[in-house]
Amino acid sequence: MEQSQRLLKVVGIYLLYFMYSKLAAFFAQTITLMNGKAMYLIFDIFFLGFICFLYYKDLKKDFKNLKEKYNWKKIVKLIIIYIGLSFLVNLIFGIVRMTFFPGVELDENTQSIQALAQISPFYAVFKAMIFGVVAEEVLYRESISGIIENNTMFILISSLIYTILPFIFSSSTISIMNLLSYFLPSLVISYLYVKNDRNILLVMMMKFVYNLIPLAILISELVK
């Protein structure tokens, strides 16, 4: 019964995610009294708050686990490992792409953040550093973690969902290389997640630092 309830909860969260994304786009286009990005921000804050409320007990448990088992030295070490592994995966993938698929454009997520930063630096920071770190990690990993106990299956399925969902809301052409550009980095973070007590707060810190570096460079260039 508990497993069925968890599954229904996850299905409900993903349905809400689809609805909120579509509604945000609809209101941003139809309501002219408010800036479109402000409307997206409102909907993002609503979804962020709601998903954190639903998984409050899990987040509280992870916070307790983090205090008991991880000191700052260990956390910094894990962040460095994550950044190093992610850099290595991206480097190898980039070499393969440029060698065999030189005409394929990738990293639409980075491009969208860059475009957003030129329009609204505040919203770009929120999207990359708060929504992308907290809401997306709870959505793509913490929620699924409760219904998939096998580590290997969890790593594969969570990474597949993380890979497929962005293309549902995008008009980009789907290709193997585009899919791999999402799938491979997700494998890294899902692997570190299961190897560290499935503690989503630890993953959030890793992702926060990883996102902070390019975003800080981008914002600094914009304000020059």
pLDDT tens digits, residue range 137-183? 999 999 999 899 999 999 999 999 998 887 776 656 677 877 888 89
Provide CB contacts within 8 A for 47, sequence distance 6+.
16, 17, 20, 135
Q: Where are the domains of the chain?
A: 55-222
Q: What is the pLDDT of residue 1?
A: 53
H or E segment to which residue 174 belongs: none
Q: What is the pLDDT of residue 107?
A: 55
Q: What percent of the chain has pLDDT over 70?
A: 83
The pTM score is 0.86
Q: What is the pLDDT of residue 27?
A: 76
Provide CB contacts within 8 A for 102, sequence distance 6+.
none
Q: Contact 138/10 with Cβ under 8 angstroms?
A: no
- For the chain, residues with pLDDT lower than 50 are none
Q: Round to whole Å and give the CA distance between 55 and 35.
A: 31
Alpha-helical (H) ranges within the chain are 2-30, 36-54, 56-69, 72-100, 108-119, 121-125, 136-137, 143-145, 151-168, 176-195, 200-222
Q: What is the pLDDT of residue 62?
A: 96
Cβ atoms within 10 Å, residue 188: 22
- Mean pLDDT over the full length of the chain: 84
Q: What is the pLDDT of residue 170?
A: 62
